[in-house]
Structure 1
Amino acid sequence: MDARYYVSKALQKLFGYNLPIYFPYRLNKQLPAEIIFPDVTLKEEEEILKLSYLGTPIVAPTTFKAGEYRKYKANGELTSISLPDFQLPLVTLIEFRRAKNIIKTDMLGANGTVKEIYGMDDWVISFRGYAMDEPNKKAQDQIENLLKFEELADSIEVDGILFTSKNIHRLAIESIELGQLEAEPGTIPFTITASSDEALELVLTEKTLSE
């Protein structure tokens, strides 16, 4: 069975990119001992956070962290479940958008407005990518693990340079969309919309309870 990765077709269908690239190696054959990229300047090994199974650096990997999370049962009861780390599929594009909360007051007899009470809204985070069959994990398995986090009634701890640089440590998944590519059963496109969240702890004292 020919299970080569026609990444160019997937990128074109999913993101509109037209790149003449693909992985020429069959899944049922071992990869060459060494893959040489003559036009690519590689960083020192200690500078690389993670490597793909092809031995190439993963740029800005993102992980949903392991932990105890809350989830609703079928009967509506809230329960806790334990989930392991889940690294998002390698081909995932992440976009961030944030608005400011500003109150504007019109000025009588003058142009413009008076702006006051500046505040920052949540980050709106968009994930666009696709899960792809790899030698040690199937695309469908990756999607099933992703859905375990999507089903939570809780915010998710997230780790990755794209998030920590914006002081984002938790997010809440608001929606997810799954698709399919024609003649590509081992490739599953997905789109996620999420928003940043912060873990807040409320402390109830005896005085608060008495009031």
Structure 2
Amino acid sequence: MLSKLGTPIYAPLIFKAGSYDTRTDTITYDEVVLENALIDISNSKNIVKTEIQGRKGTVKEYVSLGDYIVNISGSIISDNQKEYPEIEVKALEKVLIAPVSLQVISEPLNRLGVYEIVIEGYNFPTKQGFIGTQVYSISAVSDEPIELNNGEI
């Protein structure tokens, strides 16, 4: 796969197309490819710390691994540098506002077993002197679908 600049793309981030229901409609969104996304992935453990009287420090009980924290940043570049990439930005925003878990294809995420993420927030800051470019940053956490079996988790 090549970028708009003709350079090879190592690991694009792809939000797969999907849909969700509102009270009145079914909203659909198209697949969005972020060619130059930089992805920062971190994780922590869920640990319960219990204080015990007369003991120095706390007793630690490992509970589980936490969700992966995913920060995505990059820019959307218009084919024509004199025009704002409005269609591409609106398509990305339509995905980001979806109140559902999003399926992603991304080598760095998929390598860690992350195939779905939930968007916690996003930002479209302006960048002086770049009419045909929109910078973005996205905050998300990993998600795993829960499969119900006879009404049980």
- Give 1:52 shift: 1.9
Q: Which residue in the other structure is 1:57 paired with?
A: 8
Residue 99 of structure 1 pairs with residue 44 of structure 2? yes
Greater Cα radius of gyration, structure 1 or 2: 1
Which one has the bigger strand percentage?
2
Structure 1: which 5+ residue stretches go unaligned? Answer: 1-49
Residue 143 of structure 1 pairs with residue 98 of structure 2? no
Distance in 1 (alpha carbons) for counterparts of 2:4 and 2:129: 24
AA of the residue aligned to 2:17 = A
Distance in 2 (alpha carbons) for counterparts of 1:93 and 1:200: 28
- Give 1:91 shift: 3.0
Q: Which residue in the other structure is 2:113 paired with?
A: 167
Q: Which residue in the other structure is 1:128 paired with?
A: 73
Q: How does 1:21-32 map to 2 (within 5 A)?
A: none
Q: Which residue in the other structure is 1:180 paired with?
A: 126
TM-score normalised according to structure 2 size: 0.84
- Give 1:150 shift: 1.4
Query: What CA deviation, in whole Å up to 9, does each residue of 1:61-98 have, x standing for no partner?
Result: 1100123x2153xxxx164333332111x332211122
Structure 2: which 5+ residue stretches go unaligned? Answer: none
- Give 1:106 shift: 2.7
Aligned residues: 150
Distance in 2 (alpha carbons) for counterparts of 1:165 and 1:78: 38
- Give 1:185 shift: 1.3
Distance 1:144 1:120, change over 3 A: same
TM-score normalised according to structure 1 size: 0.63
Q: CA RMSD in A?
A: 2.3
Distance 1:178 1:197, change over 3 A: same
Distance in 2 (alpha carbons) for counterparts of 1:66 and 1:133: 21
Percent identical among aligned pairs is 30
Which one has the bigger helix percentage?
1
Q: Which residue in the other structure is 1:14 paired with?
A: none
Distance in 1 (alpha carbons) for counterparts of 2:114 and 2:126: 31
Residue 118 of structure 1 pairs with residue 63 of structure 2? yes
Conservation of the 8 A alpha-carbon contact between 2:39 and 2:72? yes
Query: What CA deviation, in whole Å up to 9, does each residue of 1:29-83 have, x standing for no partner?
Result: xxxxxxxxxxxxxxxxxxxxx222443211211100123x2153xxxx1643333
